[in-house]
Amino acid sequence: MFQHITSLQSFCLNVIGMGPLPNHVALIMDGNRRYAKKLQKDTKYGHKIGFHNIPHIFHMFNSLGVKHMTVYMFSIENFKRSPVEIENIFCVTEEVLQLFLDNVVELNRIGACIRFIGNAKLIPKNLRRIFCKLYLKTKDAATSYLNIAFCYTSREEITHSINSISIGYRRNLIQDEDIDENLLTSCCYLENPKVDLLIRTSGEVRLSDYLLWQTYDAQIMFLGCTWPEFGFWQILYCMLKYQRNVSCSEAIAKKQSKLQM
């Protein structure tokens, strides 16, 4: 399932791993349709190549030492696309999930847990069943996490959290003083640590209603390549840029601290 990491790539990852690393990387996998069009292929081909890139990218980040990776696989807004494209996306999604399920031993070996975030009521039953199987078969050996955002938007997630708090309040399970941002965070679909780095491919410069609550302090990088073209060298570029930004922020903080003394 995972593509082989060459000796050169392994060396580069080891070097990068000596510097500061993001704990949580979020990815907006944009450009599948554009990639297919560039190759004069149909839309389903672009989604297939893009979605099958997920295991490889996760393996790279996992090898680097990144603990959490979250991918935006299907937005609630994507339901506005044509029924044919939606069905194609669901079919390709099932292929990728089944690939993970068929290689669950390998996932357990590297300590990877596959989790779903989103509105489960909107997901077809066959996909929901596979998501559940994947989580149950990978949760016990987990040291790293691949979170798949499916039928997800951040506004819907925040609304879900507020509704959960409202229900608890009406049932007298929580009091006024219990309601704060920590409580709202605990009610979100994604209760992971904050996002440290958000990457969007295809040249689009917007967040598309993705993890807005979790990216309040994240570095955000917009790349010109499409998602199927995103690979090792793009990861290397993002990590080097992330580390440079962290070093600059630390230097500024030290300078400000000295000025205040």
Tens place of pLDDT for every residue, the chain, 261 residues?
788 889 999 999 999 999 999 999 999 999 999 999 999 999 999 999 999 999 999 999 999 999 999 999 999 999 999 999 999 999 999 999 999 999 999 999 999 999 999 999 999 999 999 999 999 999 998 999 999 999 999 999 999 999 999 999 999 999 999 999 999 999 999 876 799 999 999 999 999 999 999 999 999 999 999 999 999 999 999 999 999 999 887 777 776 776 666
Superfamily of domain covering 7-12+21-260: Decaprenyl diphosphate synthase-like (3.40.1180.10)
How far apart (Å, rounded) are the C-alpha atoms in residues 121 and 151?
9
- pLDDT, residue 36, reads 97
pTM: 0.93
Helices 125-138 and 83-102 cross at an angle (nearest 10°) of 30
What is the torsional sign of CA 107, 111, 116, 117?
negative
Tell me the CB-side half-sphere exposure of residue 203, using CA atoms within 13 A: 6
Please enumerate, as own/partner, the contacts of 1-4 that have beta carbons within 8 Å and a separation of 24 or more. 1/55, 1/99, 1/100, 1/102, 1/103, 1/106, 2/55, 2/56, 2/59, 2/106, 3/56, 3/59
Among residues 225, 210, 202, 217, the alpha carbon closest in space to that of 249 is found at 217
- pLDDT, residue 112, reads 96
- Give the Cβ contact number of residue 252 at 10 Å: 10
What are the extents of the domains in the chain? 7-12+21-260
Round the CA-based radius of gyration of the chain to a whole number and report it. Answer: 19
